[in-house]
Amino acid sequence: MVDLKTRINQANDDALRILISGRPTLVDVQPAIDVVPGMRRNMVLHSAPPIEWRDMCGPHRKSVVGAILWEGLASTPEQAESMINSREVLIEPCHHHDAVGAGTGVTSASTPMFVVRNEKYGNAAFSCLSEGGTLNLLKWGCYDEPIATNLSWQAEVLGPALGAAVRALGGVDVKSIITRAVQMGDECHNRSIAAHGLFYREIAVALLDTAPDRDSLAACIDFLTQAEHFFLHGIMAAAKAILNAAAGTECSTMVTAMARNGVDFGIRVAGLGDEWFTAPANYVDGLYFRSEWGPADAAPDLGDSSIAETVGLGGFIQAAAPTVQSYVGGTMQQAINNTREMETICIGVNPDVRIPSLDFDGAPIGIDIRKVVGTGTTPLIDTAITHREGGLIGAGQVRAPMGCFENALRAFSRRYRAP
Amino acid sequence: MTQFQSQIEAANQATLKVFQDSRPIWFDVRPAIDALPGMTGDVILHAGPPIEWRRMCEPQRNGAICAALFEGLAGTRVEAIARIEAGDILLAPCHDYGAVGGMAGITSASTPVAMVRDEANESIGCSLLFQGPRGQLRDRGQYEKETVRQWRWLAEVLGPVLQSAVRVKGGIDVRQIAAKALQMGDECHNRNSAGSVLLLRELLPSLVRLRVDSATLRDSVEYLSRAEQFSLCVSMAAAKAVAEAAGGIAHSTIVTTLARNGIDFGIRVSGLGDTWFTAPANPVDGLLFSSEWGEKDTVADMGDSSIMETVGLGGYVQAAAPVLQQFVGGSFQRAVRLSEEMQEITAGVLPDYRIPNLDFAAAPVATDIRHVVRTGIAPIIDTAIAHRKGGVIGAGQTRAPMDCFSEALVAFAARYRENQ
C-alpha cells in the first residue's frame, strides 16, 4: 500500500501534466444557449462561487436584473426580481456550466460566447465576449440603454462575424498567443493588451472575408481596435478548458478553480470533485481611476477572472508585466519577489510560459493547497476593483483568503485519510 | 569649466532638447521621387556612408543592379553595371536625401517611402517600407526576381493603399507607438512585434473604409499582419526626422548619424555638419537562423537602421527587450548592464521613453563623441545579419568601431580650437 503522501504527489504530477499539456484552441463564437451545457432560456449565470439572490453583492444583483431585461424575460426590474424569487428565472454560477465570466460574469441565453476546445483532452469551456473597455458595462454591474444596445450588437453582428472568422481560420491557438503575450509585457489578467493585439492581427484578415458587409466590417474593426483587453475573455475560457481537464484527478491537492462573487472567495480542488470551499472575499488593494473613488466605494473581490492565476498567469507572473506594478506603487523587484513567492505554493513550472526578465524561467503553475496552508502564503491575484453599486473604479491586487484552503485541506483529510 | 567647454555643454544641451522635444507624425507615403528633396530618376540610394561602386558589398551591388532594372534604367545586368560605372546612374547614401534605408537600403525613384514630420522640430524623415525577401532564396536569379516582384507590389499596391489610409487617418503619432511598444518588449530595432501590431491597429479602421477592391484590401492587411518588422520602417523615418533637426548645431559633440554599408561604419556629428567619419564595419555577433549558414556567408554590419540607436532606442534600451538576449546567449542582467553602459556615453534621457523592467528608467539618448572616446565605450547596436548574396539570415549585436569617434573628435578639435 503506497502511503498517502506519495499518492498525492503522484496525483499532483499527473494533474500538473494535464495543465501543461493542455492545448486550448478558440474554435467558435456562438450564443450561450447553443453551446453552453445545461444553459436554458430562463437562466442567468454569474461569477462563482454559488450564492443566493438575497446575499448577492450590488453589482451582481444589477447585472442579473439587467440580463433578464436584455433577454426580454421581464420588462421591469421589479418583475425581474419577482421572477428570480419565484424561480421562474434560474441563477447559477458560470463554473457549473464549464464557463467563466469576468466581473459579475453575468451570462444569459443570447450572450455570444468564446468556445475554446482543449484539443489535447477534448473538453470545451466558454466565456462571454468582452463588452469593451469602458467603466460602465453589464459585467461591472451596470445596465442601461447604451449597454443593452451594445450587447445586442455583439449578439447580432460581432459574435456571428467573429465566429465565422474563427471557423474560417480553422481555430485560433490561444496557448501560442499566451506564450507570446507574456514575452510582450502581459501577465494576461490585468494586462492583456499584447494578447489582444496578437488575436486582433490574426482575426483581422479573416474578418475581411466573413463580415457580411463593409459597414459591419468597419464596426467590428472599430470595436476590436478600441477594446484593448478584449481577448482577456478568450484567455479565461482557455484557462478554464485547461483546468477542467484536470478536475476530478483523484487524490490531487491541486486547485482547479478560484472565483469570487463579491461576497465570498471560492476554490475547487482536483481531488475533491465539484465542491466549493469558501471564505469571505478580501478587498482589493490598488489604484482608483478617479480621485472621487476610494476603498469605501469598493465591492470585495469579484469575478471568475482569477481563473488566470489558477493556471499560473496574472499575479503569478507579475515579473513579466512590470507596468502592472503602477496600480500598487510597486517596483520591478517586488514583482519578481511576488513571482518567486508564488513558486513556493505551486507544484511546478510551465515550460510554455516563460518570463523574459527572469532569464526565461517558467511560470509557477498548479497551486497546491498543502503548500498554501504549509507556507501561509495565499495566491496573489491581479484584478479590477468594482464599485459596490456597479461600475469599474480601479485595478490592483488582492490575496485569496486562507480560510478556503484550510477548509479544503480539512475536507481532503476527511476524504482520503478515512479508513 | 573653460569657455570652450561651456560652449560645448550649451550646444549639447540644445541638441539633447531636440531629441527630447521630438513629436514625429507619420503623415504620408509617396514614391521617393515625390518625397525626397533632390531625388531624380537616375539616382539610386543605399544605406550607410558614401562608398564607391567597386568597394560596395555584394548585397548593395546586387540591390543597385536590381533597382536599375526595376526602374528601367538598364535592360540587362551588364548594362546596369556599365551605366553605374560610367556615372550615368548615380549612387548616393539615403542619408544625403533626407532618408534612411534598412539593410542594403536600396531606394530608387518609384520606391514608396514612409514620410514622418517632426512637428516640434519642423523636420522630415523618410524610409523605404521593406527590406527585401527572406534569405532562403539561395539562387540569385530567383532572389532577384522575387525582389523585383515585391518592389513592384509595394510601389503599385501597398504604397498607394498606405498613402490613402494614413491620409484618411490624418497622421499617426509615432512617439506614442514607440512608447507603448517599449512597454511591450520591443526595443524598436531588432524587435518590432508590438510596434507592428500597434501600427496595424492604428491603420485598420482607415484601411477598411478605403474604396479599394476586396483583393487589394485583403492583400494589404495580410501583408501588414505578417510583417513583424513593419513598424521599424516608420520608426526609422521618425528617427531620421529628429536626427536631421539635431544636425548642424555649432559646438555640439552629439552624434546625429550612425550608419553602415556593410564595409564601412560612418558617423556624423552635429557640430561637424555633413562630414562622415568612417572606420571598417564590425562583424555582427549573433544567431544565424539556419545551421546551413556560417560566418563566411555574412556581410559586416549593414544598414541605416542604427538611426534607432542614434535616437536612444534599439541597443540603448535592450533591457526593455530581454527576448533579444536569446540571439547572443545573453541574460537579462547583461541587457540591463548594456543599457546602463549607454548612459555613460549619452548626454541625457528621453522622458517619454521608459523601460518597465528598470522601474521605468528613461532611455539614454544623445551620444557624445567625447564620452565615447574617454570611456572607450562604443555604442551598442542591435541589428540583423545579411547574407553576402542578400536576404536577412540572422540577428544579433555589434559595436560601432571606436575609430570613427576618435577621428571625429580630432576633426572637432581642429575645427573649433582654431577659432578660440
* A-chain residues near B356 (CB < 8 A): 185, 321-323, 332
With an 8 Å Cβ cutoff, are A197 and B221 in contact?
A: no
B265 within 8 A of B404, measured Cβ to Cβ: yes
Residue A288 C-alpha cell reads as: 482608483
Sequence-separated (6 or more) residues with CB below 8 Å from residue A234: A26, A114, A116, A127, A172, A174, A177, A195, A199
Tell me how close the Cα of A172 comes to any Cα of chain B, in angstroms: 15
- CB of A324 closer than 8 Å to CB of A394: no
pLDDT value of residue B289: 87
Look at the alpha carbons of B196, B197, B202, B208 in this order and tell me if their dihedral is positive or negative.
positive
* B365 Cβ contact partners less than 8 Å away, ≥ 6 residues apart: B16, B19, B20, B311, B312, B316, B346, B347, B348, B349, B350
Output the CA–CA distances (angstroms, integers) from residue B363 to B214, B317, B322, B351, B418, in the order listed.
42, 6, 15, 7, 35
List all residues 6 or more positions away from A75 whose beta carbon is below 8 Å from its beta carbon.
A69
C-beta atoms of B198 and A197 within 8 A: yes
Q: Beta partners for A383?
A: A396
Over 70: is that where the pLDDT of B420 sits? no
Least CA distance to A217: which residue of chain B? B208
pLDDT band at B418 (very low <50, low <70, confident <90, very high): low
Helix, strand, coil percentages (3-state) for chain B, rounded to 5, are 50, 20, 30
Selecting from B186, B325, B356 the residue whose C-beta is nearest the C-beta of A322 gives: B356
A chain contacts of residue B218, beta-carbon cutoff 8 Å: 205, 208-209
- Chain B: residue nearest A322 by CA? B356
Residues of chain B in contact with residue A214, where contact means CB-CB under 8 angstroms, are 208-209
Q: pLDDT at position B147, please?
A: 81
Rounded to 10°, the helix A214-226/B193-207 angle is 140
**What ipTM is given for this predicted complex?**
0.93
| Strand bridging mode A346-355 / A361-367 | antiparallel
What is the C-alpha separation between A79 and B193, in angstroms, rounded? 51
C-alpha cell at A393: 473604479
pLDDT value, residue B134: 57
pLDDT at A2: 84
Nearest-CA residue of chain B relative to A199? Answer: B197
Residue B26 CA to residue B47 CA, distance in Å, equals 21
Residue B138 has pLDDT above 60, yes or no: no
Residue with cell 504527489: A9
Q: Please count the residue pairs, one from chain A and one from chain B, whose beta carbons lie less than 8 angstroms apart.
A: 86
pLDDT digits (tens, 9 = 90+) for B13-46: 999 999 999 999 999 999 999 999 999 999 999 9
How far is it, in rounded angstroms, from Cα B17 to Cα B350?
9
Q: How far is A236 from chain B (nearest CA, A)?
A: 21
3-state secondary structure of A143: coil
C-alpha–C-alpha distance, residues A388 and A59, integer Å: 6
Distance CA B410, CA A213 (A): 66
Which residues of chain B lie closer than 8 angstroms to A322, CB-CB? 356-357, 359-360
Q: Do B230 and B236 contact (CB within 8 A), yes or no?
A: no
Over 90: is that where the pLDDT of B256 sits?
yes
Is residue A184 within 8 A of residue B180, CB to CB? The reply is no
CA distances from B85 to A138, B90, B178 (A): 71, 9, 41
Tens digits of residue pLDDT in A302-326: 999 999 999 999 999 999 999 999 9
Q: With 70 as the cut, is the pLDDT of residue B354 above it?
A: yes
CB B55 within 8 A of CB B145: no
Distance CA A165, CA B32 (A): 37
Q: Of A67-81, A331-345, B121-135, give the lowest mean pLDDT range.
A: B121-135
Residues B236 and B127 sit within 8 Å (Cβ to Cβ): yes
**A91 near A374, Cβ under 8 Å?**
no
> Strands A264-269, A255-261: parallel, antiparallel or unpaired by DSSP?
antiparallel
A359/B209 touch (CB, cutoff 8 Å), yes or no: no
Closest residue in A to B226 (Cα) is A201
Mean pLDDT of chain B: 94
Residue A279 and residue A183: Cα distance in Å, rounded? 35
In the prediction, which pLDDT does B409 show?
98
What local confidence, expressed as pLDDT, does residue A370 receive?
98
pLDDT per residue as tens digits for the range B61-99: 999 999 999 999 999 999 999 999 999 999 999 999 999
Residue B140 confidence (pLDDT): 66
> What's the pLDDT at A418?
66
End-to-end CA, chain B: 15
Residues of B within 8 A of A332 (CB-CB) are 356-359
Q: What is the DSSP string of B151-206?
A: HHHIIIIIHHHHHHHHHHHT-EEHHHHHHHHHTTT--SSS--HHHHHHHHHHHHHH
CB-CB contact of B8 with B251 (8 Å): yes
Q: What is the model's pTM?
A: 0.95
Strands B43-46, B90-93: pairing kind: parallel
Residue B349 in contact with residue B342, Cβ under 8 Å? no
CB nearest B221 (choices: A185, A208, A222): A208
Q: Which residues of A touch B (CB under 8 A)?
A: 180, 183-186, 193-194, 197-198, 200-202, 204-205, 208-209, 214, 217-218, 221-222, 225, 321-323, 331-332, 356-360
What would the grid cell of residue A75 be?
Answer: 420588462
If residue B24 lies in a helix (H) or strand (E), which one and from where to where? strand B24-31
Confidence of residue A137 (pLDDT cuts 50, 70, 90): very high
Q: pLDDT for A89-118, tens place per residue?
A: 999 999 999 999 999 999 999 999 999 999
Whether the ω angle into residue B283 lies within 30 degrees of 0, i.e. cis, is no
Q: Answer whether residue B136 shows pLDDT above 80.
A: no
Residue of B nearest to A223 (CA): B205
Residue-level pLDDT at A90: 98
Question: Do A357 and B357 lie within an 8 Å CB cutoff?
Answer: yes
CB contact under 8 A, B205 and A208: no
Residue carrying C-alpha cell 512608447: B179
Residue the block writes with cell 465570466: A101
Chain A residue numbers touching B333 (CB-CB < 8 A): 359
Query: Helix %, strand %, coil % for chain A, to 5?
Result: 45, 20, 30
| Three-state DSSP class for residue B26 | strand
Does residue B137 or residue A229 have the better pLDDT?
A229
Question: What integer is the mean pLDDT of A184-203?
Answer: 97
Cα dist from A116 to A14, A152, A241, A275, A399, whole Å: 22, 22, 7, 24, 28
Distance (Å) of CA A269 to CA A126, A250, A272, A377, B106 = 20, 10, 5, 17, 61
CB environment B72-89: b (16+ within 10 A), e (fewer): ebbeeeeebbebbeeeeb
Residue numbers in A near B216 (CB within 8 A): none
Closest Cα of chain A to B209: distance in Å? 7
Give the model's pLDDT for residue B419: 59
pLDDT digits (tens, 9 = 90+) for B162-174: 999 999 999 999 9
DSSP string for A313-379: -GGGGGGG-GGGGGGTT--HHHHHHHHHHHHTTEEEEEEEEEEGGGTTEEEEEEEBHHHHHHHTPPP
Comparing CA positions, the residue from B188, B154, B415 lying closest to residue B311 is: B188
Report in angstroms the alpha-carbon separations of A369 from A298, A402, B344, B414. Answer: 28, 10, 49, 73
The length of chain B is 420
| Pairwise CB contact (< 8 Å): A332 & B358 | yes
Instruction: List chain B residues with CB under 8 Å of A185.
Output: 183-185, 194, 356
Using a CB-CB cut-off of 8 Å, the residues of chain A touching B331 are 359
Question: What does the mean pLDDT of chain A come to?
Answer: 97
The percentage of chain A sitting over the pLDDT mark of 70, rounded to a whole number, equals: 99
> B221: pLDDT confidence band, cut at 50, 70 and 90?
very high
